[in-house]
């Protein structure tokens, strides 16, 4: 399904960029931290759907373009969470011991920080994924998605023309969107509890 494919690619891209910038900000000097977080704020201030509409109008509504736009505009969510978690962990004894033994930032990040970041990053990934599914379906619903690919939004839009005679044509893809969004919200809630 196109909605899930776009959301998966966008989520992977957002997680990779968010982890990189979050670790850089959390482990870097004050200047690196400041620059990384200001860049994240600028990107977060961009309205992702409007940027996606602009990219679709200029370059076409392909699934690749949409996945790239959504991934490149949603990484600040992950970066902020990672930065906060890294800064909370920096004063812990196991990290002070690693630094005292001469471990470098890459080793500390890979060996000591990433295992502690798994839960928060998974929750952030679920949030990004849910938002990307809804964004892709919204764009496909208004006709800005990939016309060659079948999407839940495209199916719902097509079904609206048959609403009086065959309500289930639009209800099924809409129910799938609601179900995926609800399950992701429950997964995030369970992960944060």
Here the CATH number for the domain that contains residue 103 is 1.10.3720.10
User: Residue 191 pLDDT > 80, yes or no?
Assistant: no
With a pLDDT cut of 70, the percent of the chain lying above it is 98
Q: What does the CA dihedral 74, 79, 82, 85 come to, rounded to 10 degrees?
A: -110
pTM of the model: 0.85
- Per the structure, how many domains does the chain have? 1
Question: Which domain range does residue 46 map to?
Answer: 2-192
**55-103 tens-digit pLDDT:** 888 887 788 999 999 999 999 999 999 999 998 888 788 877 877 788 7
Long-range contacts of 99-103 (CB under 8 A, 24+ apart): none
pLDDT of residue 94: 83
Q: Nearest-CA neighbor of 130 among 2, 31, 4, 1?
A: 4
């Amino acid at each position: 399904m196109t909605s899930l494919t776009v959301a998966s690619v966008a989520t992977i891209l957002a997680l990779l960029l968010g982890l990189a910038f979050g670790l850089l900000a959390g482990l870097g000097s004050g200047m690196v931290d400041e620059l990384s977080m200001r860049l994240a704020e600028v990107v977060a201030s961009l309205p992702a759907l409007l940027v996606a509409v602009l990219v679709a109008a200029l370059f076409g509504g392909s699934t690749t373009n949409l996945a790239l736009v959504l991934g490149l505009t949603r990484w600040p969510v992950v970066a902020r969470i990672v930065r906060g978690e890294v800064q909370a962990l920096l004063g812990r004894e196991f990290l002070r011991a690693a630094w005292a033994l001469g471990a470098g930032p890459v080793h500390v990040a890979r060996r000591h920080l990433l295992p502690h970041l798994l839960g928060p990053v998974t929750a952030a990934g679920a949030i990004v994924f849910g938002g990307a599914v809804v964004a892709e379906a919204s764009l496909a619903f208004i006709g800005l998605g990939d016309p060659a690919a079948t999407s839940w939004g495209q199916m719902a839009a097509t079904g609206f023309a048959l609403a009086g005679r065959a309500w289930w044509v639009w209800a099924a893809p809409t129910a799938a969107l609601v179900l995926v969004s609800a399950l992701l919200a429950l997964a995030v809630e369970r992960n944060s509890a």
